[in-house]
């Protein structure tokens, strides 16, 4: 690996491996319709490896006294931090995209490991990332506490809507929600406090909005 041609082959092999590992993680993200998919993760992984290879190339051509091989690679951490922040979305008091941002961070680490030749670390990191991001379908079977959510529902009348809400919450396993009722000029106002998981929360909101008696539904 002394000549330019051997360094080119050495670089091509590492970039190809980085792209493949990034594609593996991106495939899982793509299958679950997450913001950062195949191309994004492959490019991040390959780009991280390329920055490390550029550092190595500088050290080979300019010498260690002139070029610090770790300096460029260290900037990958900062750059990927900004990229990951772009995938985080805050909406109605909830934060979405943290797992995608953490995955981007991990993929950059995998690419960096490939770039320096730490192949066992890159492969282990990829396997563990796939294991951890693939756990979300199993979370419903784990003893994870559901977040407490607050809702404001305004309807034309109370009895049918109250019965519907109780039925929806009971089907989600929440048999004793806190519900406060008040009559206002705009209609009957329900203030609800219940512990619901993300999928139950979305179903609850969607079903309430379908009721003809309901005038508005807000998540507080």
CB neighbourhood size of 177 (10 A): 17
Domain spans of the chain, in order of start: 4-140, 148-219
> Tell me, which fold does domain 148-219 have in CATH?
Alpha-Beta Plaits (3.30.70)
Question: Which pLDDT value is given to residue 17?
Answer: 95
The SS3 of residue 134 is coil
The pLDDT-based confidence of 142 (bands split at 50, 70, 90) is low
β-partners of residue 116 are none
Question: Which pLDDT value is given to residue 83?
Answer: 76
pLDDT tens digit string along 71-101? 777 777 777 877 777 777 655 555 667 788 8
- For the record, the structure tokens of 16 come out as 């190809």
What is the spatial distance between Cα 74 and Cα 114, in angstroms, rounded to a whole number?
A: 15
Closest CA to 103 of 56, 148, 71, 136: 136
Identify which of 3-7, 73-77, 133-137, 163-167 has the greatest average pLDDT: 163-167
Report the DSSP pairing between strands 178-184 and 214-219.
Answer: unpaired
Question: Which pLDDT value is given to residue 1?
Answer: 47
């Amino acid at each position: 690996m002394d000549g330019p041609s051997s360094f080119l082959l050495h670089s091509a092999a590492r970039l190809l491996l980085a792209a493949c590992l990034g594609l593996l993680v991106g495939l899982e993200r793509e299958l679950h319709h997450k913001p950062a998919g195949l191309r994004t993760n492959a490019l991040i992984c390959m780009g991280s490896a390329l920055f490390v290879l550029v550092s190595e190339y500088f050290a080979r051509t300019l010498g260690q006294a002139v070029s610090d091989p770790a300096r460029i690679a260290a900037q990958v951490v900062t750059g990927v931090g900004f990229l990951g922040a772009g995938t985080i979305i805050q909406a109605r008091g909830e934060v979405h995209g943290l797992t995608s941002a953490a995955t981007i961070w991990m993929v950059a680490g995998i690419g960096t490991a490939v770039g320096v030749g730490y192949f066992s670390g890159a492969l282990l990191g990829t396997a563990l990332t796939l294991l951890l991001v693939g756990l979300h379908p199993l979370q419903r079977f784990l003893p994870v506490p559901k977040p407490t959510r607050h809702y404001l529902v305004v309807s034309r009348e109370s009895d049918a809507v109250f019965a519907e809400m109780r039925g929806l919450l009971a089907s989600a396993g929440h048999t004793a929600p806190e519900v406060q009722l008040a009559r206002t000029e705009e209609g009957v106002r329900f203030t609800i406090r219940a512990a619901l998981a993300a999928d139950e929360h979305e179903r609850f909101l969607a079903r309430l909005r379908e009721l003809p008696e309901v005038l508005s539904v807000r998540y507080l």
